[in-house]
Structure formats: structure tokens, C-alpha cells
Structure 1
């Protein structure tokens, strides 16, 4: 039966990958509408022929990998279950019936190492692609260092979460999902609070903006927006990427506005001020807090669905999946498979909300700095630096884009420019 399941899963995955390959590489979707050709939103206007070719090629590969990797992870979880590998990891646990956190740490270490090795070829290929197309500037040793740091940070968080989770399942097989969610609220807020000062500095160096003249202008814009901040932070990303970015992170006293040094070196002052105004829009409209609330709501629904699906699957297919009972740690790959699937299918909804917030932040930036030319040139520069698609296919937009497409963003700010010119005396 397990062999039959494995073969069926591989066939379904192969068919799915073939369909996605045809859709992404041969559907012809994502072209620029005829009415926008020759405008500032048309990549043929602001990108070279070489950049256009690389952007199209690189975007298709990345999109295909995105749609294939997540289902591939589900296959790996299924393989771990039906081969009994999860039970093997559990049998290797030392100190039986003592110190559950130590037992869970050993199990999760073995599981994480297996997943790291299984997915490493794909991770390396993505790194290679980014280097090949000139996006990444990171040397292999630095890339591996980030991977190792990420491995241990994720493992530490997961050990704590899984230990509490299975303790709750042992205490209440019916209501564990609600208790887990209630504990997730303070844990999520705590992680958001320490992220800028504890976790992020493990990967990069952060320091106050060195260009004090520019910082003064940014702080003046922040004061205009009634944002209480004393510093804008700069992060050294040039040694890792050619892409451009800026973001708001953290909550409370640890909230930060962060600029990549690549953004500082390659954009004009007016373009940087527009980006800062955009990030301030997120702060003013409290998108971080709405994001936390949305995350907690989706987590509640996800945990409830998982609590309903896991017992049913174990009752019906537990023998094939080599799962003896719900509260055993060897059932964790099934938990991860279900939650990964739920996250994937719900991503169009979460991305839609995110795109709405980004549109609001763009509109706020336009009102704050009133510089549509800088807005258009900023979006064009972001597109070129990241070799991004201006108008991706519909499924790609739904599942991958937490920001509006560059076509939408440039068209919107260009429309604002026309409105401002018409309103001018």
C-alpha cells in the first residue's frame, strides 16, 4: 500500500509540474496591454533589450520553481511518513520518558538535517540562478553561513513551539488547537519585538544612516507624518545582492525603518524620500499591527482545520503513514504537511490583503512627497535591479505577489501625476 501511495504521489506531482511548466513557459500570458505600450509602464521604454530578455527568462524560472518546490516538500513529508523514517527518528531519542524538550530537540534536529539535505540541491540552484543573472553578489561561504544561522534559529524556535504543542495535545486532544493559538499571541508579539535587535543582526550589520544630510530630510518627512523616530537604519546588503529594498520592521520601541545600502547608492535623493514616505505610510496606517492580527486570525483557522484533519487522516490512513497516535512526535511531518498545504492554498487571499496595503502606502507616499516623477523612476529602478516582471501571469500574481505588480504601481502613480497636473492652477 505504501509503495502504491508513493508511485501515485509521484505521478500526480509529475503531472502537476508539467501543467505548471506549460502555463508559465508557453501560455503567452503576462504581456503588456496594448493601451499601455510605449508609456512609462512599458518595460520596453525603460529597460534595455538585454535586461528584458534576462527579466523574462529569470522570472519564468523563478515562478516555476516556486510552484514546484512547495508540493515537492509535501512529497518529502509523505516519504518520511510512509517509509517509517519519522518513527526511526523517534526511536533514536535518548532519555526516554525524561525531559520532553530534549527528546523533541533530538527528533527535530534529525528531521531538520534530513530536510536540509533533501532540499539543498534546489536551494543551491536558486542561489546559483541569482548569481548567474546578476542579482546576488554573495560568495558561497557567506551564503552557507546564512543558511547555517537560519537552520539553528529555526530549530531553536521550532523546538520550543513543538514541545509546547505536543504537551497541549497530550493534555487535550480536542481543544489543543485553541490553547496553542492563545499561546501564539504573546509569542508572536515577542518575536516581532525582538526581531530587529536580536535576530536580524545575526545576518547583517545595522547602523544609523551615515548620510546625515539625507537622514535630516527623512526625519523631516517623518515629522510631517507625525511619526516619532530619531534614526533611520542602514543595512549592508551590497555584499549580498544588487537588488534594492527598504522596509519597516519591529513593534513598539524596537520599530525601525531600514534602508538597504544598495538603495542608498543607486537611487536619487528624491527617489529615496519617496520610498521612505511609502514605508511611513505603513506605519501611519498601522499595517504592521493589522498584519499581526491577520496572521493570528489565519493561524486560528489553520490550527482548527489541522485539529480536524489530523485525527481523521490518522484514523483512516494511519497504518500506511506509520502513525500510531496523534500525540506522538512522529506525527509531526503530517502536521507540517497539512499546515504547509493550508498556507499555500490561502496565499492568494493573504497576498490580496498585502497588495491592498501596499497600494495604500503608495498613495500615502504620493500625497506626502507629491513627486510622481520620483515614484515612477523608483519603480522602474526596482524592476531593473531585481529583473522583475512588470505584468506577471494571473496565477503568479495571485500566489506570489504580496505587492501590486509594477505595471499597476507605475500606472497608478502616473495617473496621480496627470490628476495633479490637471488640478494645478
Structure 2
């Protein structure tokens, strides 16, 4: 416990204080002088109160984001070094001799306690989202979503560790590359079932009600050779005031989906621009490129996890009461390492994502040719989500998968002016 205080709790508190000072007193989100008064300036499309709320909420949201990762790592570390992970494994072994059932019992207790430990941060995020009226979801409905997420994650993790730990026990040196090979079809299978099995667990999806607008969206899709026979609407207005649209799934389960909040808040031309952007992802093969890049990147992740897990067990295995990698008790090590690696790689993956989003913006403005609709849509998205128009560089690097709104609006305005 003393070591936990020294290497875990105290550094975490110091980090939280430094993070707070940076976000509230150091980080600069002021607009460049040359953009003041342009359509990228929030003062031209937001009230002073909206700007103040957006700045406040962005700081709070960023604070909890950067706090959540080290907190998650601390939870995994505590479970390992306080012996809880080994205890969960021993409970499972006492109940049954069947390894598949042992895996399920271990995953249940591990998931239960990690979820309980991380729940306070989730509750804080939910509370502030409600305070700033981004979320309008009642607490019972929010709890229901958390329970669905818990059981969904438990089942998926159970399946994964049955396979992974079987491979560990049979192929101690090469389990990581065999796991990666099996990971490839799993990714595509999950993408295939997500729109029809996973997403409906959380929200209701139904054919678009506005048939005239649906026909225009389908005509836009047909114009760029995207095959679609319907557009789906999802009832997000029961949960949030934010707006969004996306194309999801692969093969016969691919879907064009619009949040009903988007349909309520945007004009028709703005909606068509957003759909042109989403179709741009499809036409420019961003889904294929993204999945391919993710799969290639995951090979490096699996290898690093394999090497670093061996090093951690060699150095701290005795303290964690874990002797071999193929023990279920080692699972928090794997999850800890994956989380750290993904966070460390996020500046690169976010940069790639921002580039794809930018090219989709270019595609959409070329397809629609409607500058006002594009800028109006981005301005309304900013207002609805209380987004920070020009985030600090560090926030942009680690958090933004889309270009900041100041860049998107400024680019579209200049792009149209240059081509006219």
C-alpha cells in the first residue's frame, strides 16, 4: 500500500493539479488575429453566453479525458499489485475446473470491480454534460446504457480471452502473431454485425421519416455511385442536443445514418452537405484505408504487448503473484499495456483521421458547391455541441480526430473564394 501511494496515488494527484493549471491558466485557445471577424470567428455566429459555456465545458471535458487514462492505468495497477487479479483467478478455479467457465467467472469479477472503480469519472462526465445541456438523458436511461455496455463488453472480452489464452498456452512464443491473424476476420465480422445487433441495443433506428429529403440524399449517393436503398434515422434527441451523421457497417449491412437532432437543427442544404461529407468517406475508401491501417498498426501493438508483458512479469511477477503469462490474472497487464500504447499513438492516429476528414470536406464542397451550407452546418454543429472552435495545440494533437472548426470553416471559405 505504501508503494501504491508512492508510485500511484501521489503522482496521480500531482498530475491532476498540473493538468488543471494547464487547462485553466496556461492553454491558449484565442483566435489568430487574421481570423477575427471572419465566419470562423465564434463571435459572428454564437452569443457571448454560448462562447463562455463552450469554453467552460471544453475545459471540463478535456480535463476528464486526460484524467481518465492515467486513472484507468492506476486501477489496473492496483488490481495487479494488491493481488486482486490473482484472487479473481483463484475464485474461478475453486468454482469449476473447466477453463472456459473459469474465464467467464474471472472476467465477471474483473469487469465488475474495474467498472465500479471507473464509474465515478463516468458519473462526473454525465453530470457536467447534463449541466451544460449537452446531454438530456435521464439518469435511469443512462444507467441502462451503462449496464448494456457492461454486459456487451463482458461477453466480447470472454470470447477474446478464451481464444487468446488458449493460444498463449499452446504457442508461448508466437501467440501474438496468431492472435493478430485471427483478429483480422474478427474486425470485419464485428463491423458487419454492429449496425444490426450492437447499435440497436442503445438506440432505436428506423427508416427516415422525411421521404422527400431521403430521396435527395439517395440521389446524391447515386450520383457518386454509392449503392443505398434507404436512409436510417436514430432517435438521439432523447439523449443529447448534439448532432451527427455517419455511414457505418460493411457489405449488405452498411447504412447511412442521421441523428434526428441533425434533422431538427440543420436546413436541408446543410444536411445534404453533411451527407456529401459522409459519402466522401465512402467514395475515397476511407473505411477500407482506416481498417487496413488499424490492422497493420495492431500487429505492432500485439508484438509490443507480448514483449512488455514478459518484461513486466520478469520484474514484478512475484509482487503481482503471477508466474506465467497464460494465467488469466495477467489480463490487466495486457489491457494496461494496450491502453498506454493506444494513448501514446493517438497523436499519429488522430493526425491521419484529421487528414481523412479534411479530404472528405474537400470532396463534399466540390460535390455540392454550396459554401454557405457547409459553413452554416459547421457553425450549427459547434453551437449544438458547445465545441471549442480553436483548441490549444496539445488538445488538438491528443483529442481531435476532426480538424478544429476554425480550420474547417476558414478552409471552406478560402477554397470557394479561390475557385470562383
Which band: TM-score by shorter chain? over 0.9
SS in 2 for 1:92: helix
Task: Summarize deviations over 1:344-383 as a string: whole Å, max 9, x none.
Answer: 1001111011000000110000011100100001000000
Task: Give the whole-Å Cα distance in 1 for the aligned partners of 2:18 and 2:172.
Answer: 40
| Contact 1:233/1:258 (8 A) holds in 2 | yes
**Structure 1 residue 19 displacement after superposition:** 2.1
Give matches, 1:150-229, under 5 Å: 150-229=149-228
Q: Check conservation: 1:101, 1:160, Cα contact below 8 A.
A: no
Aligned to 1:413: 412
CA contact (8 A) 2:86 2:320 kept: no
> SS of 1:325's equivalent?
coil
| Inter-partner Cα distance in structure 1 for 2:223 and 2:418 | 23
Alignment-derived partner of residue 289 in structure 1: 288
Specify every segment of 5 or more residues in structure 2 that has no aligned partner in the other structure, as ranges.
none
Partners of 2:319 and 2:15 lie apart in 1 by 23
Between Structure 1 and Structure 2, how many residues are aligned? Answer: 420
Alpha-carbon distance in structure 2 between the residues aligned to 1:43 and 1:250: 35
Match of residue 76 from structure 1: 75
Separation (CA, whole Å) in 2 of partners of 1:403 and 1:99: 47
Cα distance in 1 for partners of 2:35, 2:121 equals: 37
- Between the aligned partners of 1:107 and 1:113, the Cα distance in structure 2 is 10
Alignment of structure 1 residues 49-198 onto 2, 5 Å: 49-94=48-93, 98-198=97-197
C-alpha displacement at 1:195, in angstroms? 0.5
Distance 1:203 1:317 in 2: 40
Corresponding position of 1:252 = 251
Report the equivalent of 1:323: 322
**Are the counterparts in 1 of residues 4 and 78 from structure 2 also a CA contact under 8 Å?**
no
Report the CA distance between 1:245 and its aligned residue. Answer: 0.2
User: Secondary structure of 1:93's match?
Assistant: helix
Root-mean-square deviation over aligned CA pairs: 1.2
Deviation at 1:120, TM superposition (A): 1.1
Name the CA distance, whole Å, in 2 between partners of 1:387 and 1:228: 34
Cα distance, 1:317 vs. partner? Answer: 1.5
For structure 1, the 5+ residue unaligned runs are none
Per the alignment, in what secondary structure is the counterpart of residue 327 of structure 1?
Answer: coil
Name which of structure 1's ranges 7-16 and 251-260 shifts more when overlaid on structure 2.
7-16
Deviation at 1:28, TM superposition (A): 4.0
Q: CA deviation at 1:95?
A: 6.3
Task: Tell me the secondary structure at the aligned position of residue 234 of structure 1.
Answer: strand
Secondary structure of the 2:158 match is helix
| 1:295, distance to aligned residue in structure 2 (A) | 1.4
